[in-house]
Amino acid sequence: MTETLLDIAMMHSDNLIARAKDGDQNAQGKVVQLWYKRIYNFSFKFFLDHDLAMEVSQKTFISMCKNLPSLQDNARFKSWLYKIAVNYCREEARKKKGNRSLSFDMVWNREAEDSPQWESSGHRIDSPERQLQHQELSDVLQEALLEINDEQREVVIMKEYEGLKFREIAEVLNISENTVKSRMYYGLDGLRKVLERKNINKETIGYGI
């Protein structure tokens, strides 16, 4: 949430959206400038991959510019934009799953499930404390995010990092608000378990209230 107040004001400016809808290319460019970072960061957290995040962001904005005239309610622009982004994220995730070849062991071996490849490729013999000396906490958390399932990850990112209200997320995903809250709860629960497994707690990262 590093946007300035002006930015936020601009994002919600119905006027800008209205002009972009009417085909004003300047206004469209402004909307892209304002929202690109948000959509990129949403996709990046979803994939932890710069190239995929760029691809999703570009597709999202191309689609946005093409389909903006069909947007009925300008006040719902935000959830409408995230809906496009989520759809492209899901499409890319499907492609990625299709392309990736998993060995039988990686899928079914409990040990392999507990320690996915990205972890074993790092300093596995080091203690979590040592690991943290080399690796940013941010990266560890990002990787933890990748371990919860896609549906929960979408909700957690939109709520925790994009600041959407539960109502808006429900609109984006076309599901009930209660389902969104449930996914959020289980997503956070899953994250907590992942972090506990990695021995990351209050003491190791020095967080606390």
Q: Which residues contact other proteins by CB under 8 A? A: 2, 23, 25, 28-29, 32-33, 36-37, 40-41, 44-45, 54, 57-58, 61-62, 65-66, 69, 137-138, 141-142, 145, 159-161, 165-166, 177-178, 181-182, 184-186, 188, 191-192, 195, 200, 202, 205, 207-209
Give the three-state DSSP class for 109.
coil
Please say which residue, 41 or 115, places its beta carbon nearer to other proteins.
41
Whether the CA torsion 153, 154, 155, 160 is positive or negative: it is positive
- Closest separation in Å from C-beta 185 to other proteins: 4
- Least distance between other proteins and beta carbon 28 (Å): 7
> Are 136 and 122 a contacting pair, CB within 8 Å?
no
Nearer to other proteins, 86 or 157 (CB): 157
Minimum distance, C-beta of residue 112 to other proteins, in the bound complex (Å): 26
Q: Which pairs count as long-range contacts for 189-194, CB under 8 Å and 24+ apart, including other chains?
A: 190/147, 190/148, 190/149, 190/152, 191/144, 191/145, 191/147, 191/148, 191/156, 194/144, 194/147, 194/148
Give the residue with the Cβ less far from other proteins, 44 or 80. Answer: 44
CB 198 within 8 A of CB 140: yes
Residue with tokens 């507990």, as numbered in its chain: 114
Region for 129 from its dihedrals, namely left if φ exceeds 0, alpha if ψ lies in -120 to 50, beta otherwise: alpha
Given a contact cutoff of 8 angstroms between Cβ atoms, the answer to whether 121 and 153 are in contact is no
Tokens of residue 115, six digits: 């320690």
For other proteins, the closer CB: 37 or 134: 37
Which lies closer to other proteins via its Cβ, residue 66 or residue 124?
66
Q: Taking the complex as a whole, how short is the minimal distance between the CB of residue 101 and other proteins, in angstroms? A: 29
Shortest distance (Å) from residue 20 CB to other proteins: 11
Q: How far is the CB of 188 from other proteins (least distance, A)?
A: 6
Cβ proximity to other proteins, 61 vs 88, nearer residue:
61
3-class secondary-structure state, position 165: coil
